[in-house]
Structure 1
């Protein structure tokens, strides 16, 4: 367990020992610590408490036997104090400015290896970007619920599923909670529709932010880099209020993430970078969670939905990163969650056809093409010619693929599955009937 998390689980004696070491501020012998204890505890009891604190990384032991000295570890020393007693930590432009793509790493080696192992083999099964419609819908619900939950939203997963699929709001909840979840759906859909395109730029980030925060903040603040100070609850970190600095650093963050070759490092850079930068008046952590999926989805890797993430470790990890620049706790929480959820998408991939990235990029136009063919009664023999003209703006490889796909869909379409392409079942029934008459059956 990370020392910052272990601090939350101390018994009375351990808390007093930590308090003594925090007040004194220098190494102490066990004898000196015992002398300052107000609670009565035997030497063996104190020894066991000290051993546990050392094992948890809260206390550092220097030397052996009676000459040993005990002191708090840097993280424990810092976080043993309440936020308002910790020194204020100003925004450091070098945190992002000094990041050198493919040289600097924020994601520790151990967590990087764990995430790679969790995704192993999945990128072999996918075209570089996309999942079937069913998988995309599952990811959308997972991320919309988990990200909203991390913001304190009280909708259950089932409530969220009903809201997103049927538009039915849960009773007993504030309207803002439904708005937050629906905004996630809008923003995540935009993300999925953009797979394969160059999106790591301030303009796309502004669009995603506007979708995420619609009706939750003032319209003038949607997608706009802030120019006033903000306060981070539960932290001594003080972000800057310099809009010029933020605009520059946001551009740097996005550009550098695009240069990073390892998708997991790039994902973690965006996740923590957006949260640290606090470029917008609100919604920065949400932005980090959504944008962290860009490097993964674009490489055909399982996305990170944040389902099952340890909320306490995640939020404490962010504060640790804000104040001390230590990403280890945050990385551990992310890797734990990724190991659990990536296999869900892996299993889903294994049971479905493997789409190509152009299918997701052109999903709306594919639906429009299918609908036009059905509603206009275009003969089956003319479908390929129609589709070739419809997608004439694409390169030869993508156009040929979509021509074949549209022809395949038209052959397989029925009133029962018509909804997959947003086509009226009655129109499909009429189209099939007309097709049968044409073929004399």
Structure 2
């Protein structure tokens, strides 16, 4: 590729190192630069010969890392010119960016093209390079067999803050991360629409964690997801979860979504059906993210619905959640506009892979920070859910629940103390682990936590 040089290869490796990948394979560099394998390998050899890279391993295990001098030079450059974290854009993504930088008057108006979905054949077609999707799946999945949704449940408290704040920020929300944490502790929004947006995200994520393992990727699930996300944010409450019948216009683009309700409904069903058939959950997540935003099936909130819906396949396959950490709104806008106007996913692929790797690292650390499972808790896991359900839903005392289940101190040492401790900690944001609904839990809390 004519615009690929040793310098651009070195910059790509430096960006990968900044993202935490200090030893990279040639195939990773090929993906980061979109160059040919032969050209990239030639430049890698030249960079090793010049002392800027070190080659480690042999054959398929060969990896490349920056030398100390190259790393120091990059660090010095970063100190002199601090930048916001961003993906390493491929040449195709850079070229797409140039097209999108043209004034609106110089870009050709376009509308929805259904063949973008209809020509996609699950497990044969791919929007993301298959080797990249496979690599991200291997990096992001839990390795032990666990019920669907386990990963998301384990990191739920951190995910609620990360994804709610990141997704809302992409919509122009003014809350800081710290203010979001305080809002979630307080739990009330008043008349502040930014607070409503954040609390709706939180409720929607809790809904997904509870519902996805039971319902899978279904039409009712996605429509309910939209209803929860947009509650009190749409003027017409009839539009919550409903396929839109009104015209929508998107600012700063020449893309005009289809306005035919029957087509919107049919294409939504097709999108979900094809995502369900896609075996690689990362490809399925990317497919959903891109296509739900492109279709615009709802009156408002389509992009935020697409971001949360992208997590559904990841939850089903126990992969790290995707929280869009550190994504610059301008980068995000260009990624989706590239699909809207040119059906070009090059910027979307680069952005998705970059932010998903950041999510993988973040939640791997969260998992590592958790202490080893309490053997007593594992032993009483199901009994604890039953007892808490009796206290919260049926409003019987903890003592009565213990007696009813035959878990008195002589029969189940330590169980009652654990039950009382868990009841103290029970909140609407963590009730899903005990198969409790948000409504039932809130009602129990409002009643003064009777137990």
TM-score normalised according to structure 1 size: 0.67
Find the partner of 2:158 among 132, 138, 141. Answer: 138
Q: What RMSD in Å do the two structures reach over aligned CA positions? A: 3.8
User: Is there any run of 5+ residues in structure 2 with no aligned partner, and where?
Assistant: 4-88, 428-440
Are 1:287 and 2:308 an aligned pair?
Answer: no
**1:312 CA displacement:** 2.1
Find the partner of 1:303 among 309, 321, 324. Answer: 321
Q: Tell me which residue corresponds to 2:241.
A: 223
Structure of greater Rg:
1
Describe how 1:181-220 pairs up with structure 2 within 5 A.
181-217=198-234, 218-220=236-238
Q: Give, in whole Å, the separation in 2 of the partners of 1:363 and 1:279.
A: 41
**1:325 CA displacement:** 1.2
Are 1:269 and 2:287 an aligned pair?
Answer: yes
Q: Give, in whole Å, the separation in 1 of the partners of 2:194 and 2:159.
A: 19
User: Is there any run of 5+ residues in structure 1 with no aligned partner, and where?
Assistant: 4-54, 60-72, 387-405, 432-441
Q: Give, in whole Å, the separation in 1 of the partners of 2:261 and 2:346.
A: 29
Are 1:164 and 2:184 an aligned pair?
Answer: yes
Find the partner of 1:383 among 396, 405, 421. Answer: 405
Q: Is the 8 A contact 1:370 1:421 kept in 2?
A: no
Are 1:93 and 2:114 an aligned pair?
Answer: yes
SS of structure 2 residue aligned to 1:377: helix
Q: Give, in whole Å, the separation in 1 of the partners of 2:207 and 2:402.
A: 32
**Structure 1 residues 254 and 79, CA gap change in structure 2 (3 angstroms):** same
Are 1:149 and 2:169 an aligned pair?
Answer: yes
1:315-361 deviation per Cα after TM superposition (whole angstroms, max 9, x unaligned): 101101111111121121121112122122223223253999xx89x
Q: Tell me which residue corresponds to 2:390.
A: 369
Q: Is the 8 A contact 2:200 2:229 kept in 1?
A: yes
Q: Give, in whole Å, the separation in 2 of the partners of 1:107 and 1:235.
A: 24
1:162-188 deviation per Cα after TM superposition (whole angstroms, max 9, x unaligned): 111222559xxx711011111111111
Q: Give, in whole Å, the separation in 2 of the partners of 1:288 and 1:343.
A: 22
1:211-240 deviation per Cα after TM superposition (whole angstroms, max 9, x unaligned): 111111110111111123322222111111
Are 1:75 and 2:96 an aligned pair?
Answer: yes
**1:410 CA displacement:** 3.0
SS of structure 2 residue aligned to 1:296: helix
Q: Tell me which residue corresponds to 1:339.
A: 357
Q: Is the 8 A contact 2:128 2:349 kept in 1?
A: yes
Q: Give, in whole Å, the separation in 1 of the partners of 2:289 and 2:358.
A: 18
Q: Give, in whole Å, the separation in 2 of the partners of 1:235 and 1:277.
A: 15
User: Does 108-117 or 276-285 show the bigger shift?
Assistant: 108-117
How many residues matched?
338
Are 1:257 and 2:257 an aligned pair?
Answer: no
SS of structure 2 residue aligned to 1:321: helix
Q: Is the 8 A contact 1:118 1:342 kept in 2?
A: yes
Q: Give, in whole Å, the separation in 2 of the partners of 1:126 and 1:408.
A: 27
Q: Give, in whole Å, the separation in 2 of the partners of 1:164 and 1:91.
A: 38
Q: Is the 8 A contact 1:123 1:301 kept in 2?
A: no
SS of structure 2 residue aligned to 1:303: coil
**1:128 CA displacement:** 3.2
SS of structure 2 residue aligned to 1:413: helix
Q: Is the 8 A contact 1:130 1:195 kept in 2?
A: no
Q: Is the 8 A contact 2:136 2:357 kept in 1?
A: yes
**1:98 CA displacement:** 1.9
Q: Is the 8 A contact 2:152 2:318 kept in 1?
A: no
